[in-house]
Every structure is written in C-alpha cells, then in structure tokens.
Amino acid sequence: MIGIIVFAVIGLVLLFPVVMTRLAKRKTAQVEQARATIARHRARLAEEERAKNTIVPADHGLLLGKDLVVFGDPGPEEAAALDAAKAGDWRPIAAYIRAGATHDVRGRRLYGAASLAAEDDTWLRAWRAEDPQDPTAALVNANALVFLAWNIRSSARASEVSREQFDGFHRVLAQAEEACAEAAALAPEDPNPWSARIPVAMGLGYPNDRFRELWAELTARDPHNWGAHDRALQYWCQKWRGSHELMHGFIDGAIAAAPAGSLLTPLKLSAFWEQFVRDGRNTPASWQSPEVGAALDATLADLAAADPENIRVTFTRGWLAYALTKAGRHTEALAQYQALGPVIPPPFNGFNDPRQAFVDLRIDAVRGAVAAAS
C-alpha cells in the first residue's frame, strides 16, 4: 500500500510540470486571443473614425485638389496672345488688352503683358517703334517698368534687400514715373496710367498729401476703379506709407461712396488681414469680432447685388471663403468654395503653397458645415 502511495506521489510530481506547462500555454493562448480581439476592435473603431473624418470632395459639391487651378494663370486667349508676343508678334496682345470692356478690365489685362515685358521687352520695343503714340503700348511700358523695379527689389523684407537692389529699384521706379506721365498724356481720360503710378508712390515714398493728389486725378476719371483701390490699400497700410487707421479709413470711405455691387467690400476683409498679420494675431478670435462680422455681411450683400460677370466676383468669393471659415461661419463658407469651382483665388494664391492652404481651410469649412447640420 505504501508502495502504491509512493508511486502515485512520484507520478504526480513528474506530471506537475507537464500540467503546469499546458495550463500556462492555454493561459497564454487565451491572453493572445483576448489581445487580438481588442486589437481588432480598436482597428475597427479607428477605421470608423477615419471614415467619419474623411472628406470626399464630390460629396460636398467640390473638386479634388489636383483638379484645382491657381487664380492668375492666363486663360487660353491671353496665353495665345502672350505666346505670339514671345515670338515677336505684339498685335494679338494689343487686341486682347483693347478689347476689355471697362477701364478696370483693361487694367487687369495689362498684367500678363507687363510681366512678360519686364523679362523681355523685344516685342514691346517693336510695337512702340511702329506706333510711338499708341496709348496702350505706352501703358504696357509703364506697367512693365513697375514690374521690373519690383523684380529688382524682390519681395524680401527691407532688411534683407541689398543696397544695390534698392538703388536699382529706385532708379527704375523713376523711369516708371516718367512712363506713367507719358501714358497719361496719350490717354487723358484713362485712369490706368494713374493706377500704375500707385506702386511708384509706394516705392518712392510719396508723402500722404502728394498721394492724395494722385488719387484725386485717378478718381476723377473712374471713382470706383477696383484695381486702383486694391493698389491704394497697400499704400495706406502700415507696412508702407500709412497706418491701420488710415488704411481702414480709406477703404471705409470708398465702400460708403460706391454703389451696391461694386465689389469694393472684400477689400475691407483684405484690410483686416493686413492688420491681423501685421499685429501677429491672424487667429480665429480676430476673425470672429463684431467688426469683421459686419464686414462679412456687407460683402455678402455686395456680392448678391453684383453682376455675375464682374471679373472681381472670384476675388470676392475667395476672401469670403477665407474669412467665413476663419470666423467659424462654415456653412456660408462652404457655399463660396462650391461656387468657386476649380479656382484657387486670392488670398490663397499668395500663400507659399496655395493649393494646400486652400484645401486645408476648405476641409475645415466642410467639417464645420457637416457638424452644424447634424
């Protein structure tokens, strides 16, 4: 009997490690299974969260980022005319500029030609040689010299611009000033030579009173010229020859005097942007102030009253999209992004990465609009 007991005890002793090993393996398997279940659950939750946060542009009446184009790129007609100018034929670009229906449209159409001439003016010199009294050629020349001067200076901060650059900048601006006077003499009723002189005034440091004289000449010819007001806003901002107060006073007066639908109102949003960036407070809180809210409402009303064919509609929608998103008015902002279609407008086209900046803010608007609707 004792032998049987001893034998049993020995058997148990020998089996114990085996049993414990099997139990341990079973426990490990159970733990691993539990971990796998938890991991699958977490993965499913993460996938659901990603799906919830994923923005499918088409679901919101928007285009993919890759299908967007940056505002300012020439359209087919202008591109063909510029290509012809590069090849030595100035007539298509001359016809394109002259075909503008208003002073403002013609002023806008000058930019591509002036930018090209600032790089290579061979075609422009041929044009002027053939017809020295052509006011359009003189105006392109004046603007080209302005472009050239600013190319010499660059867009860097003043502290980063060399003495040689400043000397060249001021020398060419003086030439541009003379060219503006020549263009004005050839087309006495045209405000565009006076508009071209605004960046000259900025660079050469016209005192405020002298600038007001220039402005009086311009507005006597076209009191609500959009391009001129856009340029003048820069003169009056703090970083150039004015202050926040002078800048806002200028644009407030212009808006008050303009008829509904003139689309000067988004320049007030541009003024706020200049102020907020200058003061280091370009934050949602700044854009949510009552003053900005009133400016947004005024801009929306101005847009509703405007001719849909007005060339400044895109600019207006761009500033509304930006400012409404920053202000947290996402549903209204989304409507502007939808109306813009494939265009990345100002202010986004001035950012380092216009496409990414536009898409990122557009995502904020979509998410906010979806949240507001749920």
Tens-place pLDDT, residues 156-189: 888 899 999 999 999 999 999 999 999 999 999 9
Is the pLDDT at 263 greater than 90, yes or no? Answer: yes
Cα distance between residue 295 and residue 293, in whole Å: 5
Would you state the pLDDT for residue 25?
59
Longest Cα pair distance anywhere in the chain, in angstroms? 134
Q: What are the tens digits of pLDDT across the range 323-367?
A: 999 999 999 999 999 999 999 999 998 899 999 999 999 999 999
Task: Evaluate whether 237 touches 271 at the Cβ level (below 8 Å).
Answer: yes
When the pLDDT of each residue in the chain is averaged and rounded to a whole number, the result is 90
Extract the tokens encoding 287: 């854009």
Where exactly are the structural domains of the chain?
75-222, 258-374
What is the mean predicted confidence (pLDDT) over 268-282?
97
Q: What is the 3-state secondary structure (H, E, C) of 56-114?
A: CHHHHCCCCHHHCEECCCCCHHHHHHHHHHHCCCCHHHHHHHHCCCCHHHHHHHHHHHH
pLDDT of residue 11: 52
The pLDDT score that the predictor gives to residue 26 is 64
Binning pLDDT at 50, 70 and 90, where does residue 45 land?
Answer: very low
**Global pTM?**
0.83
pLDDT digits (tens, 9 = 90+) for 87-145: 999 999 999 999 999 999 999 999 999 999 999 999 999 999 999 999 999 999 999 99
**C-alpha span between 188 and 220 (Å, rounded):** 11
318: number of Cβ within 10 Å: 24
Question: Which of 106-110, 155-159, 258-262, 282-286 shows the lowest mean pLDDT across its residues?
Answer: 155-159
Cα-based angle 298, 248, 268 (whole degrees, multiple of 5): 35
- Three-state SS at 181: helix
Q: Determine the Cα–Cα distance for residues 297 and 265; give it in Å rounded to an integer.
A: 10
